Amino acid sequence: PYEMINLSSGWLSSPPYLYKTLFDSQLKGNDSFVEINPETALQYKLKEGDKITVSSVKGSVQARVHLFDGALPGIVFMPMGFGHRAFDDFSSGKGCSPNTLMGGKIDVLTGQTAWWNTPVKISKRV
């Protein structure tokens, strides 16, 4: 996952005006996007906007594909700050949360949650 500075920290819901600062390749309607390198997408026969399931041993989420040359091949990038099930009617249900996928591993050097090493599988939804 990657943090987005234009959304609230997660302790509070993001005000509606902040959602206007997002690109359609991050959130469109209620759909989250994951960033995938075009080479990786080709291996999985995915194209821009395809609906996919991202799953780990902890859970799964539904998202859409955004092809991004800046993503490392074989890696899936997913924004944090979406997928709230609480808060107001505006913020609830927007996108999906990478927390659903993360297993709570702790980085031995920092003692912080290890966000960056959650193995996932992706599959195209039909």
Over residues 5-55, the pLDDT tens digits come to 556 555 566 666 677 777 778 878 888 999 999 999 999 999 999 999 999
Domains (ranges, CATH) in the chain? 16-124 (2.40.40.20)
Residue with the larger pLDDT of the pair 112 and 91: 112
pLDDT for 92: 76
**Average pLDDT of 57-61?**
94
pTM for this entry: 0.79
**76/102 Cα distance (integer angstroms):** 13
Q: Residues with Cβ < 8 Å from 86, sequence gap 6 or more?
A: 13, 92
